[in-house]
Every structure is written in C-alpha cells, then in structure tokens.
Amino acid sequence: MFLPRARSRRRTYALALIAVTLTSLAACTRGASPPADPEVRPPTGWPSTLPADRGVGPIALGYVAGGVSYVVLDRGDQYLVPGDLRQGGQASLSPDGRWLLHGGTLYDAETGATMTVALAAAPQSWSPNGRWLLTACSSDGTGSRQQLLDTEAGSTLDVPELPSEDEGSCGMVAVLDDGNVVAAVLPEASGPVREATLRVVNPRTNDLVREIEVDLASILQGEESIAGWHGLHGMLVGPRGELFLRVHGDATASAIGVVISAEDGSPQRRVDGPDDRGWVPVAFDDQGIVIVHGGDGDGARVSVLTPDGAVQPRHQLPPGARLMLVPGGVVTV
C-alpha cells in the first residue's frame, strides 16, 4: 500500500516500499562495470534438505531452478528448501543469513529449529542485526495493518497506525536494531524532493523517540529526487548507523542513492552505480550497498558497491535460475 504526499499543512506519513522487485526499472547509471561474477550452478546430484536437527551456518543466497528451491551457504554448500520459494510472496533472508522465512515457516540456520509464523503481509525491511522484520501494509477490510516480527521470540506485534488524511493508513518504512520503526514525512512541494523528516517511533507505545531532519540539496542535482507521488523511492538500513535513500528522476545522472547518518540525517556520501543499466539496490551490509542486475531475477548478478565506489562481484546465476533471496534484501515475485 502506498500513501499520497502531504497536503494542506498536514504531514502525511509516506510508505516507501522496501520490498525489492527485481522487475522494477533502475535508474540509468554510469561508472565502472563489474567483471564477470562466479557462477552459481544447481548441483549435479540431489542435495540434502535443510536439516531440522542441526544448524548449517549462514545462508548467502536463495534461488529456484527447474522448479526446485535451493539455498547456498556462505561456504558454498547447497541445500534443498521444502516447498517453493516463489509461492506466497513471503520468502526472505535476514542480513546475517541466519533466519530464513518461507511458506509461513521461520528457519534458524544456526540451530536448525523452525517456528511457524503468521504474517498478514509480505516482508518489507529487516533490522541490520537480523532480529526484527517489518512487514508491508495489508488490509483485512477493517483498516491497514503492519506487523513487526521478533525472530528470537517468534512473536509478532501489530505496529500502531499513524495519523493520516487517508483512513486506515500505515506507513512505517524501516526497522532499526532496537526494534524502533521509522516513518517518513515529506514536505508539501512540487518538483524533486530533497528534504524529509524521519520519525523514529517505539511501536510498543507509539511514542516518538526522535526526529531526523534530512536535507540533500547539496548532494543531489538536476531532477534527482528521494521521493515521488507515492512516497520515498526506498530506504535501506545499514549496520553502522547509516541509512541509504534511493534516488530516481534524472536519466542523465549517475546516482542510485545517498547514504545519510541515522543520528542527524547528514549526507555521508553519494552512491553512483555501475555503467550498465538495470542495477537495483537491494540491501545494505557491512561491505556496502548490495545491488542486483537481471531481468525478472532470471540469471541475475549480485554485486556490492563499496564506500569507495568499487564494484565487488558476489554471485551470478545461470539463465533459467531465478534469484529469490539475498541477505537483508526482500524480493517480491
């Protein structure tokens, strides 16, 4: 669910869809193009299913090939995933690779334990430490609803709705390591949006924790904007007190986003993408901004843009293999 822009002196909380759709169009970018990535291929034999009696270690990737769902561990081993990662639209992987959500089941790759969870909507945003998962908005006919999943407890919390000109609206865009959630308030303005107020809210009490004022006029150019009519273009939460705001709007510019401080909103760096088009930022980890290239996830490439602008390849899937999971990135199919 998207919320409209603020109107008539009222601030409207705008929902930025953090769930990443690999079919979406990325902004035109320029810079060094990444080299060919190591290719991930389906195993020639029939691998084991993820065990329930022991942990396997962090998961680095999830994909579907030939109708079979696989996960790839950090060390390269592959396991079968019961069911189909494409079904239900709720497959997701925590930033640390520990928690795998699929088909209403939360799998702990550290211990092998599983929990059944009931989420009202698709995953939207992970906290960097992997404890919290914020869902997108859903509507059950009585109003909009967002949930916060505590992976350690296996419990969910309904996130309070925010005041809005739209009845039954909800608009939290991200969750932090402490479980507090973030809403974006956009100014009433025409043209490119380069300012915003980020409100950090305690979802248990609905109390305002702090406000973060963001002003990117000094770092954006031309028609570059952090928001459109439907709210923020996207926000990713980084592991070191940083936030990534996605940028759209200027086909001649190179920026795909801006990294800001989560404490005071000050711009830390402009993020320019590789030369070839079609790269989508999907996650923010301790190495940089994780980006994915590949039409509809078919034969996708996964790389990371480091803070110094280097492009480091991570994975490449062969044609016919569909990317479903990257740590901290929520893929909607």
CATH number of the domain that residue 239 is part of: 2.120.10
pLDDT at 139: 66
Q: Is there a domain that residue 3 lies in?
A: no
Judge whether 6 lies within some domain.
no
HEC sequence for the chain: CCCCCCECCECCEECCCCCECCCCCCCCCCCCCCCCCCECCCCCCCCCECCCCCCCCCEEEEEEECCEEEEEECCCCEEECCCCCCCCCCCEECCCCCEEEECCEEEECCCCCEEECCCCCCEEEECCCCCEEEECCEECCCCEEEEEEECCCCEEEEECCCCCCCCCCCCEEEECCCCCEEEEECCCCCCCCCEEEEEEEECCCCEEEEEEEEECCCCCCCCCECEECCEECCEEECCCCEEEEECECCCCCCEEEEEEECCCCCEEEEEECCCCCCEEEEEEECCEEEEEECHHHECCEEEEECCCCCEEEEEECCCCEEEEEECCECECC
For residue range 88-114, list pLDDT tens digits in order.
778 999 999 999 999 889 999 999 999
Q: Would the pLDDT of 149 be above 50?
A: yes
Give residue-wise pLDDT tens across range 226-243.
998 888 999 999 999 999
- Answer whether residue 214 is part of any domain: yes
Q: Report how many domains make up the chain.
A: 1
Q: Is residue 207 part of a domain?
A: yes
1 part of a folded domain: no
* 5 found inside a domain: no
Give pLDDT tens digits for 240-287.
999 999 998 776 667 889 999 999 999 999 998 887 777 899 999 999
Residue 128 has pLDDT above 50, yes or no: yes
Q: What is the pLDDT of residue 138?
A: 81
Query: Would you say residue 66 has pLDDT above 60?
Result: yes
Q: How confident is the model at residue 190 (pLDDT cuts 50, 70, 90)?
A: confident
Domain-embedded: residue 62? yes
For the ranges 13-17, 79-83, 324-328, the lowest mean pLDDT is seen at 13-17
pLDDT at residue 30 is higher than 80: no
Q: Is pLDDT above 90 for 162?
A: no
Please state, for a pLDDT cut of 70, what percent of the chain lies above it: 81
The average pLDDT across 119-135 equals 94
pTM of the model: 0.84
Q: Which structural domain, as residue segments, surrounds residue 144? A: 13-35+44-325
151 lies in a domain?
yes
**Does the pLDDT of residue 167 top 50, yes or no?**
no
* pLDDT class of 142 with cuts at 50, 70, 90: low
